[in-house]
Amino acid sequence: MNIYVGNLDFKVKENNLGDLFAEYGDVSSVKLITDQFSGRSKGFGFVVMDNDAEAKAAITALNGKMVNNRELVVNEARPQTRSNYR
The CATH number of whichever domain residue 10 belongs to comes to 3.30.70.330
Q: Is the pTM of this model over 0.75?
A: yes
Local confidence band at 77 (pLDDT 50, 70, 90 cut-offs): very high
Nearest 5°: the CA angle 72, 81, 56 is: 40
In a domain, 83, yes or no: no
CA dihedral 61, 65, 68, 71 (to 10 degrees): 140
Structural domain for 49, as ranges:
2-77
In a domain, 23, yes or no: yes
In a domain, 11, yes or no: yes
pLDDT value at residue 49? 98
In a domain, 67, yes or no: yes
pLDDT value at residue 86? 52
In a domain, 50, yes or no: yes
pLDDT value at residue 79? 83
In a domain, 86, yes or no: no
**Burial category of 40 from C-beta neighbours within 10 Å (exposed 0-12, middle 13-18, buried 19 and up):** exposed
In a domain, 9, yes or no: yes
Q: What is the pLDDT of residues 3-50, one digit of tens each?
A: 999 999 999 999 999 999 999 999 999 999 999 999 999 999 999 999
